[in-house]
Each structure stands twice: as C-alpha cells, then as structure tokens.
Amino acid sequence: MFRRRSGADPEVLETDQLPDGSLIPVRQAGKGRPTPKRSEVERRRREAYTPPPADRKAAAAQRRTEQKRRMDAMRRGEEWAIPARDRGDVRALARDYVDSRRLILSEYILFAFFVLVIGSFVAGLAKNSTVILLIELLIVLLIAGESLYHGITVTRLARKRLPGQSTRGITWYIAKRAIKLRSTRIPPARVARGQAI
C-alpha cells in the first residue's frame, strides 16, 4: 500500500517497510491527544454560578447594580448588552431610522387615547359609542399606515446597504418602537432628530 511521505514530521512515530527493504515513515493516526469527555467540555463552557445573597436587600442592590451596568453598556452600543430581539445590522438601521424622524405620528398618537377617555366622561361621548369606535379605528389605521410606510422605506434601505440580510418582521419592529416616546425607547436612541441616516 502506498503512503504519503511526510519528511521530518514531528508527528511521525511509525515506519512501513517496502519489499525492497527501504523504510517509509507513516504519520500517526488521530490527533495525538485523547478526546475530552462531553461533561468536561460543557463544564468549561458554563459560567461560574454565584448564588444570590441570602439578604433580600443585598440581592436587590446586586440586581440594581447589574441592571445599571447592562444599561450603561447598552447606551455605549455594546452588543452583549442589547436584547436578542434588537441585535443585527438591519434592526440597528431600523432603530436609527425611527429615531432620526422629526415627526412620527405614532409617538404622539397615544395621547389621543387619553384625550378620548377623558372626553368620553367629560363631553358625554360615552352615550355615542359609534363615535368612539370610529376614532379608535382611525387611530389604529394611522399607526398601521405609518408603520407600513416606514417599514417599506427601511426594507429598501436595508436591501441597498445590507444585501443578503433578512428584513423579516421589520415593519412590526418599527411599529413597536415608533409608538414609544423617544425617552422610553430601549435600546436608547443613538442618533439625533433630523440626522441623516
């Protein structure tokens, strides 16, 4: 049987003899070390578990410290601190697009619900439920239409700037971010209003 010559290889441990009496080196089979057990590999992969403090006040202080550290890291844009649903270049582009808009109706339209509730008690709109239903339907249609418009715009931008990346669910993601006030959005806005994206 013919074998490949390996020259002065440090892994060569055996030799084969040809019919003419000459020796050829043979490479050692395997990787030269035992395969680690799965339990050892998983143990190395796991992070060290530190049990929470027995004192409730100390545990609450520890949670607050961890949340503050994560929030600070999120504001700096560190990937590990961003929730899984917000990761990726397409989602970052969508966030920047929404945060850069000067006027997003969805952000302020929630105030219309409060006005509607107060008006239904003060102005006697509760007697005419058809009017309330029509106003609520109009608000929902405005939010849906605006979200669809922004979703199409961001999808086009993503296909141009980030070809090959998935834009699935981007319209719903934009709608959820747009209805929140800018100061309450997580991850926090990293672009100024009116800034070019």
Domain residue spans in the chain? 102-182
The beta strand positions in the chain, using DSSP E, are 12-17, 23-27
Query: In the Cβ-directed half-sphere of 117, how many Cα atoms lie within 13 Å?
Result: 4
Whole-number Å distance between alpha carbons of 66 and 51: 14
- List the pLDDT tens digit at each of the 197 positions of the chain: 555 555 444 444 455 555 666 666 555 556 677 888 888 877 777 656 667 677 888 888 888 998 898 888 887 777 788 888 888 889 999 999 999 988 778 888 877 777 777 777 766 655 667 777 788 888 889 888 999 999 999 999 999 999 989 899 999 999 899 888 888 888 888 888 888 88
Whether the model clears a pTM of 0.85, i.e. scores above it, the answer is no
Return the closest-CA partner of residue 150 out of 88, 185, 103.
103
